[in-house]
């Protein structure tokens, strides 16, 4: 099991967290998503998965939810 941490901008509420969690959870191999919500800043998203994730897949999932992956 590996844990990767990503920064996401634009999330400000529990609905934002739910949207991003749902999209990232749909990536093959993801077993858990945890989000440390920081209003008006970059939130930290921790993802546990069976193997390292493709950053492009995470970026696409975050974009689909309507937010921006930082970096």
What lies within 8 Å, CB to CB, of 41 at 6+ separation is: 9
Model-level pTM?
A: 0.91
Domain at 2-70: CATH architecture: 2-Layer Sandwich (3.30)
CB 1 within 8 A of CB 48: yes
Over residues 5-9, mean pLDDT: 95
- Predicted local distance difference test score (pLDDT) of residue 25: 96
The tens digit of pLDDT for each residue in 14-30 reads 999 999 999 999 999 99
Domain borders along the chain are 2-70
């Amino acid at each position: 099991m590996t844990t990767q941490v990503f920064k996401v901008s634009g999330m400000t509420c529990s609905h934002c967290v739910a949207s991003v969690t749902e999209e990232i959870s749909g990536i093959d191999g993801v077993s858990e998503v945890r989000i440390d919500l920081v209003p008006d800043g970059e939130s930290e998203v921790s993802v546990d998965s069976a193997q390292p994730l493709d950053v492009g897949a995470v970026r696409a999932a975050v974009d689909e939810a309507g937010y921006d992956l930082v970096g």
